[in-house]
């Protein structure tokens, strides 16, 4: 391990640009630390109910 080269660019050595999908709490935490965050309000189709999601796929939604 010790002879591996350091990557030229490290994720945490440049300003972060974050897209957060789903749980808004993660976005809020980053915002509190000053990181710019684009939050995407997303949830699994039919709130994760597999039966309803299957019906929706067959009914063309």
| Interacting residues with another protein (CB under 8 A) | 43, 45-47, 49, 52-53, 55-56, 58-61
Residue 42 CB, shortest distance to another protein, in Å, is 10
Residue 10 CB, shortest distance to another protein, in Å, is 38
Residue 61 CB, shortest distance to another protein, in Å, is 4
Cα(10)–Cα(44) distance, rounded to whole angstroms? 32
Closer by beta carbon to another protein, 35 or else 50: 50
Cα(46)–Cα(54) distance, rounded to whole angstroms? 9
**Contact (Cβ atoms closer than 8 angstroms) between residue 44 and residue 55:** no
């Amino acid at each position: 391990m010790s002879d591996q080269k350091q990557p030229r660019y490290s994720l945490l050595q440049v300003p972060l640009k974050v897209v957060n999908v789903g749980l808004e709490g993660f976005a809020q935490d980053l915002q509190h630390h000053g990181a710019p965050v684009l939050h995407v309000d997303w949830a699994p189709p039919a709130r994760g109910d597999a039966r309803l999601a299957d019906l929706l796929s067959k009914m063309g939604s």
